[in-house]
Structures are given as C-alpha cells and as structure tokens.
Structure 1
Amino acid sequence: MAKTLFDVKNDLVTIGQALAVAKQDKLAKASDPNASVEDIRALETKEQNLQARFEILQKEHDVMEAEQKASLDKSRGVLDGVQEPKAKITSAKAGLYRAAVRGQNVPDDVKAALGDNNGSGGEKILPSTMTTELLHEPFVKNPLRDVSTFTTVTNLEIPKIDFQLDDDDFIGDEETAKEIKATGDVVTFGRHKFKVMVPLSETILAATDTNLVQTVDRALESGLAAKEKKVAFTTTPKAGEEHMSFYRITDPIKAVTGADKYKAIKAAIADLHEDYRENAKIVMRYVDYTDILEVLANGNATLYGAQPEQVLGKPVEFCDLAVDPVVGDFRFSHYNYDPTIIYDRDKNVRSGIWDFVLTAWIDHQIKLKSAFRIAKKQ
C-alpha cells in the first residue's frame, strides 16, 4: 500500500526519535571506560544506519510536500476569476511551451504575463521572465554556480582587476603583472551558440500546467548547467572555445605537481599569490577526494566525518569533470550569457516526438589565469 505524506511524517518522527536515542547511547558507551571498542562501533554503525534512513525519509517527505503544495496552489490559482501571480506565470509558461511545440501562435495574454517586450510576436525570443529564471536562478547541478561570476550582458567588457593605483607597480604578484602586460587589462566576452533540446510527448503536453512547466524547466536548467561545466573542464574543447577551459593547451594555466593529488593540491594552494590564496577554493572529483581520505585516514574512521575544508585547507566543490583538481580564486572565472535567448521546435523523425529547442549564447572567460593552479600527480 502506497504511503501518504501523513505516513511519511509519522515515520520521520519515529526514526528521528530512534536516532536521538542511538546518539545518546553511543555517547554514554564511549564515556564508559569499561566498554569495548566493538560495542562502541556497533552503536556508531546503528546511528549511521538510522541517519541514512532519516535522510531518505526526509527527502521523500520534502518531495511529497512540494507536490501537495503545488496541487493546492493550482486548485487555489484561480480565485474569484483572478489568478495568483505565481499560478498565472506557470499557466503562461505552459501555454508558451504548448504553442511552440504545436506550431501555434503564442496568445497575447501569455506573452504579456511573461514580460514579452516583443510587440509583433513574430520573433521567437524567450520572454524576459523566463530568461531571468533560467540564467539567474542557482543551479545545484553546476558547482561553479556557487563560486564563479555570472552575468547576462550583451557585448560585455570588464577590467581584469577591480581597482588600480597611480603607482604602476601596485600589482604585488609578478606573474599577474606579466599576464596583464601580455594580454591587456580588459576582458572582452564573445558569443558561442549552443542548443538545449527537451523532448516532449503528447502525454506531457496534455499534463497539468505545473507538471509540464516543471518537466521543461528542469530539463532546460540541466542543459544549461551541463554546458557550463563542460566548457570549463573539457580537455577537448570545440574550435573557438579553447579559452573557456581550465585545461586549455594554448596559453595554459600553471600546473603544480606532487607525489599524489593531496600533496599536489597543498602545493598548488601554497604556490598561489596571497591575493588569490585567501579566497581560493578547490574544484575536484569526489572519487579523488575519497582516495585522499583513504590514505590520510589509515583506518581511522574519524577523518571521514570531517568537512573537506578541514582536510584540504580550503573550501571544496565536487565536479566529476574536474580530472585534475583546479585550485584558485574563482571570482576570476566569469560566465556571461547573451540575454537574447531564442526558442523553437524540432521534430524527432525517428520517435515522432517534438523537441522544445532553446538556443543560447555563452562565454566563459578566465580573467586571470595567474589566479589559478592545476594540481597534478607526478
């Protein structure tokens, strides 16, 4: 029998109480000088199992609660003939998706609700409301969203360093000074086109507005995040996109080596100039981090509970595409989107399913490569 939200809430309370008791039992046993290590480890394992079950239930609870809220919002979306703002936008987005895929004209009220500034309605430019949500909402699937700079400005040009002094020798890092002298003190962003395609069947198109919008929005967000990560960490960039990658071969970022990746990361942090070291972060693969833990822990389970920053000395973001850890001040990693985003449709002739197609333009500039190091194992 399927569990309801009420059932899951009760399960959460039960497991939560058991988890609290297990924690107290473990502390009490650990404080007892006569207790055996095996008994303490058994209680620790019990606590970990309960914690895992609690987290699974919590995640399912949050999903079910969000779905219930969305259903209630939809049922309350129209009150006395007036739609709530959030429900109105959801309904308008669903109308745009359906009209685009089916080759129909987008109704004027839909365009107005989404902030369309295109009076004629002939061009297929994504309305401002949707552009803002797609490009400015934080995407948890792209770790760089939390550390890099993101903007949406046409033909963006910015200085590489935020301040200047009348003394020509104000830059303390000789490497940075040489880089600016060689490449100039201004970064100019280009436009590199890519497409995100979301396959939609008639079943999805006929679903509720909420389900349709969630399906398309999540797919578009995932596509944008995937592109952002790929251009930054690819070892085989497309022609014209070489400058976007931390692993670029032409004009490469300085590599620092060590006997293993742990020592390479430590050496890379130390090799950064203090101006960048203070705000440095590490982007690396999770599998490399667990390998480091295994070596450092040497059978001591305590280290596995430590935060990555405590282990490596700097905050860590995990990305499976980061084949060699990238260490540096990620404020100098800058993504810029052209605010003009186009939508269209395309038919998959093999499956008969229509694609909602989004065309966007992106550029990723590493404003100062001297602010970064690549940590490599010797």
Structure 2
Amino acid sequence: MKMLLPLNIQMFAGDQTLYELKQAMATIGQQLKKVEGELSAKAIDPSASIEDIQAQQKSKEDLQARFNVIKQQHDELETEQKAKFAQQAAMKQAGLSNIEDPKQKRTEAFASLVRSTVRNQPIEQDVFAALGDNTSPATGGEKFLPKTVAQEIITEPLVKNPMRDLVTVTSVPNLEIPKLSYTIDDDNFIADTETAKELKLEGSTVTFGRFKSKVFAGVSETVLAGTHTNLVSHVENSLRSGLAAKEKKVQFAATPKAGEEHMSFYSTQNAIKEVEGPNLYKAIKAAIADLHEDYRENAKIVMTFADYSEIIETLANGNATLYAAQPEQILGKPVVFVDAATKPIVGDFSYAHLNYDLNVLYETDKDVKTGVNAFVLTAWFDHRIKLKSAFRIAKVTPTP
C-alpha cells in the first residue's frame, strides 16, 4: 500500500502543467512540515503511546513519498521545457535562414509581417530580407510592403479584372513612354488623320502619375491565430481582389472622381469617339468599321454579357443554333465580357496602359465592435489611354 499511493500520484502528476506541479509541491511540503512538527511533539511527550508515534511516522513517510514523486515529475518537466525554450531561442536567433524551401520561407516571412503589423510589434529585419526587401528598418523600410510581395499582389489578382489580359500592365515608378512604338523621319506617314491630330494636340509621350488607392483585408482573430498558409492566402487574395475591383471601377467610371477623369474610357476628358447605330449589333459593327486598319486588325470588343445576350436574342429570332456560336463569329472580333462596360468599347487595348508604383504602404486598424483587424494596403497606380483614336464606343440611336 505504501508503494501504490506514490505510483498513483506519479500518474496523476504526469498530466499536470509545471505551474500545477509547483502548487502541489508547495501544498504537500507544508503538510509534511506540519506532520514533522507533530511527530517531534509526540516523540518527546511521555503520555503519547508508541502506536500514536508509529502512526505519525507513517503519515510522514507517505507525505514524503508523495512529495518525492511530484518533485521528480516537476524536475523532468522543467528540464524538458527549458530545452524547448532553448531550441526556440536558437531558431529565433537563426531567423528564417534555416528554412531552405523558398516558398515556405516566403509564407513564414509574410505571415510574420502581417501578424507583427496587426499586433503593432516590431518586424525583424530577416523578414524583409526573406521577402526581397533589404531596406533597413532604421530608414523607414518597415513601412513599405516588400517589392516581391507587392509585385505578386499587383500582377496576380484572385478576383479577375478581365482588362488585365487586354491592356498593358507595368510596375515602373515615374513611367514615361512614347504613344507610338516607332517613328520615321517623315511624320506624314501616319495615315490615320485622327491619330495625327491627337499627337499634334497632346504630344507624342504619355507621363504616368501616382493616384492613391486603399484596399482593406479583414483579418479575424481566428485567421490571425491560424496557420501561416491560411493567413497569407487570406490576406493576399483579399488585397489582390480589392485592387482588381478598384481597377475596373476607375476604367469604366461614368462619373470619375476629380483628378481621375483620364482613367475612364467613358470620361468626357478622353472624349473617345462614339459611333451610332439603330441597334447594338449594328452600332458595334459600325464602330469596328470606323477604326483605322492599324487598330482594327488587333481590335477587341469589351461589353456586358447582358448586351451580348440581347444581340443574340434579336439575331436568333427563334434559331437555337445561333446561341452555340462563338461571340467572335457573331460580331467579327474577340469579345471580352465586363459587367462594368455599360457601353460596348471597341479598339486595340494595347493602347491602354495600367502602371503601378511599387512603393506600396501597409498599415493596420481594428474595429473594436467586431474585433476584426484590417490589414490596409495603400497602392499608387495610374491608367492611361495612350491613343484615344485607337478606340470607339458603340452607341445605340434608334431611328425615328
């Protein structure tokens, strides 16, 4: 019986935390000290029977056995935790350099960046190094999203902006480019008179500006405390989707914000030529024909799926086979569906250009009511229509 009790205590203690074991040692230690005092008192008391002394002696031995077992468990767990902390400290000191897989290293670094930003904690320099930005934090580099991450967020949106497959997309600060890819010594070679007038009126180069846009990625506490992979995927997808939505908004704004008028195909500032027709089908056909052959060859049509469905319904007139035809077979040019394109746009979209400045800021904010943290991305971009004469807008003007 004397040996069974310590074994039971040993099994129980093995499931406890280090703090609980310390508490148990303190409690049993106090009881042991009390019993030792009572044993000494009985030993010197002539009236105490030998049976009482032996019973008190047994109580002391039992408590001592309990104490020894718990202390053993405590010492083993403490040694184990010290070794674990030492290993973690060594890994932290080594930083991300001990991770060989580049993809894993980037995920670990970006997760660390997001968590540190949301929690207002300092960001280790090796995080920036792993993300491709060696800027020292002392120079303010911690306020910039590392360039490799910014590049991926800018160029790979989850929510697709179909216009990215059509327009030119670059990430060059302070970009300035010629409107035409080549020139010759005689400027009379430009056969399209509208292009010649546009170059004479507006110049032959395009200078891109920096227009600020903020995108918010909501990060809940559960996502923040989750795995690195889920956290990085959630934040990156939210930022990419937000940027794609912003791009479409400025490219097709009917009433652009002040200062952003030049970004929209529909703005009066760009004044892209409208070609009319009695219905949408004939208006698009007329717009294609109105383009100069230099632009017509590579022209595409950007329109809503609803408008295209209306054209098919009108042309089919009960003929089901027409619904199976490709849009290019119906309209004569490749069609890209964008719900924001309220009026069909026809043209060579390589003459539209989206440029990002890679100096991307990140900040954080928290909604105290919901407990959701906002990882805020501030990006600067500009969308320029390099040659307005390369585009036409189809407009329906019903005949009286």
TM-score by shorter chain over 0.5: yes
The root-mean-square deviation of aligned C-alpha atoms, in Å, is 1.3
Task: Give the counterpart letter for 1:93 in structure 2.
Answer: F
AA matched with 1:203: T
- Structure 2 residue aligned with 1:207: 226
- The answer as to whether partners of 2:364 and 2:374 remain within 8 angstroms in 1 is yes
Percentage of matched positions with identical amino acids: 62
- Cα drift, residue 117 of structure 1: 2.5
Q: In structure 2, how many angstroms separate the alpha carbons of the residues matched to 1:185 and 1:154? A: 20
Which of 283, 293, 313 in structure 1 is aligned with 2:312? 293
Matched, 1:88 2:102: no
Structure 1 residue aligned with 2:122, among 81, 87, 105? 105
- Runs of 4+ with >6 A deviation: none
* Partner residue of 2:255 out of 212, 224, 236: 236
Q: Offset of 1:120 from its aligned partner?
A: 2.2
SS state of the match for residue 116, structure 2? Answer: helix
Which residue in the other structure is 1:196 paired with?
A: 215
Could you list the per-position Cα deviations for residues 188-243 of structure 1 after superposition, in whole angstroms to 9, with x for gaps in the alignment?
11110010011111101011111111111111111110111111100011100001
Query: Which whole-Å CA distance do the structure 1 matches of 2:386 and 2:166 have between them?
Result: 14
In the alignment, which residue of structure 1 is the partner of 2:375? 356
Q: Which one-letter code corresponds to 1:370 in the other structure?
A: S
Q: Answer whether contact 2:125 2:137 (CA < 8 A) is retained.
A: no
**In structure 2, distance between residues paired with 1:231 and 1:144:** 12
Q: Which residue of 2 aligns with 1:305?
A: 324
Q: Which runs of 5+ in 1 are unaligned?
A: 1-80
* Superposed displacement of residue 131, structure 1: 1.3
Q: CA deviation at 1:306?
A: 1.6
* 1:327 aligned onto 2:356: no
Residue in 2 that maps onto 1:169: 188
Change (3 A) 1:357 1:157: same
How far apart are the structure 1 equivalents of 2:323 and 2:105? 47
Q: Output the amino acid matched with 2:306.
A: V
**Aligned match of 1:274 in 289, 293, 297?**
293
* Alignment-derived partner of residue 38 in structure 1: none
Matched, 1:157 2:214: no
**Which entry has the higher C-alpha Rg, 1 or 2?**
2
2:131 corresponds in structure 1 to 114
Q: Which amino acid aligns with 1:337?
A: Y
Per mean C-alpha deviation after superposition, the further-off stretch among 262-271 and 289-298 is 289-298
Task: Name the CA distance, whole Å, in 2 between partners of 1:102 and 1:82.
Answer: 24
Corresponding residue SS for 1:338: strand
In the TM superposition, residue 109 of structure 1 has moved relative to its aligned partner by: 2.3
Distance in 2 separating the partners of 1:145 and 1:351: 35
Deviation (angstroms), 1:138: 6.0
Matched residue SS, 2:187: coil
Matched, 1:343 2:346: no
Partner of 1:256: 275
Partner AA of 2:383 in structure 1: H
Q: Structure 1 residues 242, 182: CA separation in 2 closer, same or farther (over 3 Å shift)?
A: same
Separation in 1 of the partners of 2:129 and 2:250? 35
CA contact (8 A) 2:156 2:240 kept: no
Distance 1:338 1:156 in 2: 9
TM alignment of 1:55-70, pairs within 5 A: none
Task: Identify the range of structure 1 (275-284 vs 209-218) with the bigger mean alpha-carbon deviation.
Answer: 209-218
Aligned with 1:220 (options 239, 246, 260): 239
Q: Secondary structure at the match of 2:150?
A: helix
Contact kept? 1:282, 1:315, Cα under 8 Å: yes
Residues 138 and 145, structure 1, Cα contact 8 Å, conserved in 2 = no
Query: Which amino acid is the alignment partner of residue 271 of structure 1?
Result: D
- Return the letter of the residue paired with 2:163: L
The residue identity in structure 2 corresponding to 1:325 is P
Deviation (angstroms), 1:261: 1.1
- Give 1:140 deviation, angstroms: 5.8
**Aligned partners of 2:270 and 2:234: how far apart in 1?**
41
Secondary structure of 1:154's aligned partner: coil
In the TM superposition, what is the alpha-carbon distance from 1:139 to its structure 2 partner? 5.4
Equivalent residues of 2:218, 2:374 under 8 A apart: yes
Structure 2, unpaired ranges of 5+: 1-97
Q: Which whole-Å deviations, capped at 9, do the CAs of 1:7-34 have from their partners, x for residues lacking one?
A: xxxxxxxxxxxxxxxxxxxxxxxxxxxx
2:358, 2:270 → 1: CA distance?
29
Per-residue deviation, residues 227-276 of structure 1 (Å, max 9, x unmatched):
11111100011100001000001241000111111111111000000000
Instruction: State the AA in 1 paired with 2:153.
Output: L
Aligned residues: 298
Is the contact made by 1:139 and 1:145 (CA closer than 8 Å) also made in structure 2? no
Q: State how far apart, in whole Å, the 2-side matches of 1:331 and 1:293 are.
A: 28
**Letter of the aligned partner of 1:97 in structure 2?**
V
Aligned position for 1:316:
335
The one-letter code sitting in structure 1 at the alignment partner of 2:331 is L
What is the SS of the residue equivalent to 1:169?
helix
Residues 116, 128 of structure 1: 8 Å contact kept: yes
